[in-house]
């Protein structure tokens, strides 16, 4: 039996504001890529709740970023590890890998340092924030990771419900939450992120799963039992981050719920119940992080 930790409301993470604001600028700047066209935000856009709306993202020089679907960077600070297969330990290590990735930004640290050190705006800002005259790549990644700590989507209706505001959910949504628990979704999607705290197999109950094996946990551990195993994704803001699954093969939330029943619970969830669960999942959309809102800039 899996141990299901309870679902808890999100709480802000403390971060260094100066570093985070610098990280924000870098996150949105295509100068970080080999062709000066792709930024982190190209694939992790606030318009799509920190993800994009494509099955596979487009990286530098028009390269298709296969075989994995871009996850949201919102609430990624709570991930036990980064990437679908957890090959990065933390946000900083993840940012390094994204910058170096052939399909994503296609950069080396040497080229990155050369470019950033030739830009007066960055020279001045790194001097102000870190007191350095020469910008090392490490500080670029450090700043981006600090920015990502600020991307917590607080105060969704479900969190308000958990905190005691019983009117924050309507009856249908409460029923959806109830079904989420009794069907057993909560055995994997639990904790403050409703997921992102364990690795589980896609298709426990299906022998010949008709889905492509991507960068699974096997690629990290080389254990046979880790084939088709992925980090359980968070369900926060899930209504805004279609398409779904590690390979982006599932277009709608309804279909994802249905398939989860089939693949990971071994049941056919009645259509009506799928709709209740969908209604519940829609209550997990939180507020846009403060650092992405206009008023925050004025405070600094």
Residues in contact with ligand HEC by the rule CB under 6 A: 38, 40, 42-44, 57, 59, 65, 68, 70-71, 73, 76, 79, 82-84, 91, 94-95, 98-99, 104-105, 144, 183-185, 187-189, 200, 202, 204, 215, 230, 232-233, 235, 238, 241, 244-246, 256-257, 260-261, 264-265, 277
CB-nearer residue toward ligand HEC: 165 or 266? 266
- State in angstroms the smallest separation of the CB of 269 from ligand HEC: 6
CB-nearer residue toward ligand HEC: 6 or 131? 6
- State in angstroms the smallest separation of the CB of 293 from ligand HEC: 20
Q: Are 37 and 30 in contact (CB under 8 A)?
A: yes
CB-nearer residue toward ligand HEC: 33 or 129? 33
CB-nearer residue toward ligand HEC: 89 or 298? 89
d(CA 230, CA 1): 18
d(CA 231, CA 86): 7
- State in angstroms the smallest separation of the CB of 132 from ligand HEC: 20
Q: Are 42 and 31 in contact (CB under 8 A)?
A: no
CB-nearer residue toward ligand HEC: 77 or 168? 77
d(CA 216, CA 255): 22
Residue in the block written with tokens 């551990």:
221
- State in angstroms the smallest separation of the CB of 138 from ligand HEC: 13
Dihedral sign from CA coordinates of 56, 281, 235, 105: positive
CB-nearer residue toward ligand HEC: 95 or 168? 95
d(CA 126, CA 136): 10
d(CA 85, CA 95): 15
Closest CA to 252 of 243, 264, 260: 243
Instruction: Name, in order, each residue with C-beta under 8 angstroms of 141's C-beta and a sequence gap of 6 or more.
Output: 92, 95, 96, 99
- State in angstroms the smallest separation of the CB of 163 from ligand HEC: 23
- State in angstroms the smallest separation of the CB of 105 from ligand HEC: 5
């Amino acid at each position: 039996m899996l141990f299901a930790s309870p679902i808890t409301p999100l709480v802000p993470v403390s971060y260094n504001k100066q570093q985070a604001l610098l990280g924000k600028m870098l996150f949105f700047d295509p100068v970080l890529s080999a062709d000066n066209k792709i930024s982190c935000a190209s694939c992790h856009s606030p318009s799509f709740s920190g993800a994009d709306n494509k099955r596979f993202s487009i990286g530098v020089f028009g390269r298709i970023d296969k075989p994995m679907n871009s996850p949201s960077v919102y609430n990624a600070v709570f991930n036990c590890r980064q990437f679908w297969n957890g090959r990065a330990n933390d946000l900083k290590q993840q940012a390094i890998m994204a910058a170096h990735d052939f399909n994503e930004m296609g950069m080396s640290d040497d080229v990155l340092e050369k470019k950033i050190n030739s830009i007066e705006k960055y020279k001045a800002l790194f001097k102000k924030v870190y007191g350095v005259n020469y910008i090392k790549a490490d500080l670029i990644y450090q700043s981006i990771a600090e920015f990502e700590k600020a991307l917590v989507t607080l105060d969704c209706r479900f969190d308000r419900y958990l905190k005691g505001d019983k009117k924050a959910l309507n009856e249908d949504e409460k029923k959806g939450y109830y079904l989420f628990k009794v069907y057993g979704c909560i055995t994997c999607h639990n904790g403050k992120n409703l997921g992102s705290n364990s690795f589980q197999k896609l298709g426990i109950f299906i022998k010949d799963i008709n889905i492509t094996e991507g960068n699974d946990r096997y690629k990290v551990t080389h254990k046979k039992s880790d084939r088709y195993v992925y980090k359980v994704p968070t369900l926060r803001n899930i209504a805004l981050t279609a398409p779904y699954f590690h390979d982006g093969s599932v277009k709608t939330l309804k279909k994802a719920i249905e398939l989860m029943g089939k693949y990971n619970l071994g049941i056919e969830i009645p259509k009506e119940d799928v709709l209740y669960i969908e209604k519940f999942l829609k209550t997990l959309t939180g507020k846009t992080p403060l650092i992405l809102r206009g008023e925050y800039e004025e405070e600094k």
